Amino acid sequence: MTKLPNISFLLFPILGLTNLNAQTDALISSLSNDMKHFNKVATATKQNENYQPYIISVFKGSELEKLGVSNLKEALELVPGVDMATDSFNNQTPIFRGSNSLAYGQSKLFIDDVLVNNTFFDSYSEYLSFPIEIIKRIEVTRGPGSKTDGVNAYAGSIHVITYAEDFKDFKNNDKLVFKYGSYDYIMGGFIKNFKAEDLKVFTDFYYQQDDKKLYAGPDGLSQGSLGAGNVALSQTGDAPLWLKEYSLGLNIKYKDIYLKARLHEHTKGSAYGINLALPQDDDRMKLPNYYFELGYNKDINDFSVYIKAGIKYNAFDSVSKLAPDNTILLKPSDGTPVTFANGIYSEHFAAQRELYQSSYVKYKGIEKHLITFGYRLTNEETIDMTSKLSNRETGDAGLFDYTDTLPFFDKNAKRSTLVISLQDEFQYSNSLGFMYGFNYEKNTYKTSGIEPRVSMVYQHSSEDIFKAIYSRSHRNASWQEMYTMNNRARVGNTNLDPEKVDAFEVAYIKKFSSDTYLQTNIFYLLNKDQIYNTATDSTYRNVVDTDIYGFELEYKGNFTSSDQLYINYSYVAGTSYIKDESKSESLPNVANHLLKGYYIYNISSSLSVSGLAKYVGSKERISGDTRDKLDSYSTLDTSLNYKNKRHNYTVTLSLKNIFDATLKFPSSPNTYSQDYEQEGRSFLVALKKKF
């Protein structure tokens, strides 16, 4: 708030009655400007999420820092109905409401409104390690009821807002961050702002690395992934899960024009192996992800125009030992056996480029209506591909170039997509509003047709809010699912149809105060043509239909003015129908029960303690998997946060998984029989200095 009202109050008796009118006018003007300013901020930061026509949860970065949350992945594990899954690449992905735990692209990640899902997997695992200190706010929409922006969010969407979001009169957000933790984890980064009359520049940078290794095995060879003759070569040991990553972000805004760019380099250990054989410690995978976007936003009378164009680059870059010494395979030429005395090595590289352009117009000239119409065009293509392996004919470990004769990926992969959107937000009365519209999509391979959505928000009173939502959406096959070739574990299929979902949701929100609420919602999801493959049939196919239902409870409030309490519970169940086997099963690889929450107690304005707890229920196996169901687990974290106001620095000490609980993510059948064990007890120290 500006200090003018206080100054006026102090000077009032001295200036006397002759200045009464002038000072009173100044006071009223100042208060009015302040109210307009903070109303604008509240709207822009979407603090009215309870009134949005979506099922949405919002987490503030500053609150997550107090809890000792280190990165985006740990933050998403707090979201109602969201669990985590992984694969042999350690390509971790959030699973929303049990939706196809074996697939990628189920949800979309936006950083400062830029879609960052990569093209190869249609996932964003390379951004799950994004440090929480760079994040101002996380908004998570559950369900396919996405906004009209030309992007289909099949199961959910995640909007990460960095400190590039800025408002007039707000204090500087410049800061330095340093962290150290288990597995020799180190991180350093900064945020820097520059402001002039019409120009705003924001940049962030960080570097982080660790030396994480986790016990794994026996590996996939024990299940015959490289043939029965190589089962005896199966290994057990430490999987290389180390990380080296740096990221540089830049946001520039000049009047109505903006630029958003990020260079994100993500390198990690090869985890559990491309071909399910435990890799060497120094085997690695690079997943770079860059974007550059230019945009123009302009209000013209009753119209608002949003135009943007951008380019994205991402790649799959793997250097690894694919199989152990003395592996025996068949020659491609004549089918006779050949022994690889020194093992099989590989270099796989596929680079993708995406060009996109979208234009949207909002019109508010019709009373009580806000109409949005526009399109989004994308063009994706592979711009470079190499495939090198140990010589398949001689068994020599040296790399031989198979880019043209035995490629791992289709080097001519291309796809163009057009999405047309129309939406109307109709405010029928002060208490009742509707949103309805549709997307129409057509791409090089398939036409998804018209996908409608309609939602209603009814505010019975300022404390009681009701929502009802219907939406239809789809997920296009990722490039891994379409274009992978000559691979024992996965084979692409360009004839795949999009996965489709019809979602029905109702919600009730009880607001006890401005910052205390209870949200309950029920959902029913009809999923069709879900994409699936197995170790025994590695070709991706549309063979699963899944009906999912459940409910979520979410409470946020406090006991006193010195604490904060957040807790949520999710229940999900359903049935999967496997069409090519004419059988059904209970929802596999999904925890029916999720319970999460945290408590922060502010001992003083400088010192706070917190606890964060999670319970993840047991998971049934997929059809044909004879292993026992995956056990449930519970974890408890605690943190101590100290803020020195005089020197403007903060120190956070965290202990995670205090009781060293065993937690595992499920592996696919006939791969790693003991699943993928995750980290146990760990610690983290974070130091932040503001300027």
User: What residues does 162 pair with on adjacent strands?
Assistant: 135
- Residues 547 and 575: beta-carbon distance below 8 Å: yes
User: 170: pLDDT confidence band, cut at 50, 70 and 90?
Assistant: low
User: What pLDDT does residue 148 have?
Assistant: 55
Fold of 45-672+680-690: Maltoporin; Chain A (2.40.170)
161's CB contacts (< 8 A; 6+ apart) are 112, 135, 136, 137, 138, 139
User: What pLDDT does residue 133 have?
Assistant: 97
- Residues 304 and 298: beta-carbon distance below 8 Å: yes
302's CB contacts (< 8 A; 6+ apart) are 363, 364, 365
3-state secondary structure of 409: strand
Q: Is the predicted pLDDT of residue 2 greater than 50, yes or no?
A: no
3-state secondary structure of 113: coil
Q: Is the predicted pLDDT of residue 337 greater than 90, yes or no?
A: yes
User: What pLDDT does residue 145 have?
Assistant: 62
A 10 A CB-CB count for 169 gives 11
Does the CA dihedral 537-541-547-553 come out positive or negative? positive
Tell me the mean pLDDT in the region 64-77. 98
User: 173: pLDDT confidence band, cut at 50, 70 and 90?
Assistant: confident
User: What pLDDT does residue 356 have?
Assistant: 97
The amino acid present at 83, given as its one-letter code, is D
Please give the Cα distance from 241 to 234 (Å, whole number): 19
Per DSSP (E only), the strands in 444-559 are 447-459, 464-475, 499-513, 516-532, 541-557
Q: Is the predicted pLDDT of residue 252 greater than 80, yes or no?
A: yes
Selection from 249, 253, 244, 245 nearest residue 263 by Cα: 249
3-state secondary structure of 66: helix
Q: Is the predicted pLDDT of residue 111 greater than 60, yes or no?
A: yes
Structure tokens given for 682:
């760990």
Q: pTM for the full model?
A: 0.91
User: 101: pLDDT confidence band, cut at 50, 70 and 90?
Assistant: confident
Selection from 147, 158, 159, 156 nearest residue 437 by Cα: 147
Phi, psi angle pair for 7, to nearest 5°: -65, -40
User: What pLDDT does residue 13 have?
Assistant: 34
Q: Is the predicted pLDDT of residue 36 greater than 60, yes or no?
A: no
User: What pLDDT does residue 147 have?
Assistant: 55
Higher pLDDT: 9 or 368? It is 368
Rg (CA), the chain: 27
How many C-alpha atoms does 409 have within 13 Å on its Cβ side?
A: 27
Tell me the mean pLDDT in the region 33-45. 41
User: What pLDDT does residue 150 have?
Assistant: 74
Mean predicted lDDT score pLDDT of the chain: 90
- Residues 469 and 459: beta-carbon distance below 8 Å: no
Q: Tens of pLDDT along 408-432? A: 999 999 999 999 999 999 999 999 9
Per DSSP (E only), the strands in 196-302 are 199-210, 213-216, 237-240, 243-254, 257-269, 284-286, 289-300
Locus of tokens 């996109």: 356
User: What pLDDT does residue 10 have?
Assistant: 30
Does the CA dihedral 45-49-52-55 come out positive or negative? positive
Please give the Cα distance from 658 to 209 (Å, whole number): 23
- Residues 272 and 219: beta-carbon distance below 8 Å: yes
Phi, psi angle pair for 467, to nearest 5°: -135, 145
User: 578: pLDDT confidence band, cut at 50, 70 and 90?
Assistant: confident
User: What pLDDT does residue 240 have?
Assistant: 98
Q: Is the predicted pLDDT of residue 43 greater than 80, yes or no?
A: no
Please give the Cα distance from 61 to 645 (Å, whole number): 19
Peptide bond into 218 cis (omega under 30): yes
Tell me the mean pLDDT in the region 201-223. 96
Higher pLDDT: 386 or 489? It is 386
Q: Tens of pLDDT along 72-90? A: 999 999 999 999 999 999 9
Please give the Cα distance from 234 to 236 (Å, whole number): 7
Structure tokens given for 134:
């760079």
Q: Is the predicted pLDDT of residue 160 greater than 70, yes or no?
A: yes
Q: Is the predicted pLDDT of residue 333 greater than 80, yes or no?
A: yes
Tell me the mean pLDDT in the region 464-484. 93
Lowest-confidence pick of 440-449, 455-464, 660-669: 440-449
User: 167: pLDDT confidence band, cut at 50, 70 and 90?
Assistant: low
State CA 678 to chain mean position distance. 19
- Residues 492 and 413: beta-carbon distance below 8 Å: no
User: What pLDDT does residue 87 have?
Assistant: 92
User: What pLDDT does residue 100 have?
Assistant: 81
CA-to-CA separations, 291 to 262, 300, 356, 411, in angstroms, rounded = 5, 29, 11, 22
Q: Tens of pLDDT along 614-668? A: 999 999 998 888 999 999 999 999 999 999 999 999 999 999 999 999 999 999 8
The amino acid present at 438, given as its one-letter code, is F
Highest mean pLDDT among 126-130, 331-335, 480-484: 126-130
For the chain, the structural domain boundaries read: 1-44, 45-672+680-690
- As a 3-state breakdown, the chain gives helix, strand, coil percent values, each rounded to 5, of 10, 55, 35
Tell me the mean pLDDT in the region 224-241. 94
196's CB contacts (< 8 A; 6+ apart) are none
Tell me the mean pLDDT in the region 359-363. 97
What DSSP designation does 276 have? S
Q: Is the predicted pLDDT of residue 60 greater than 50, yes or no?
A: yes
Higher pLDDT: 591 or 670? It is 591
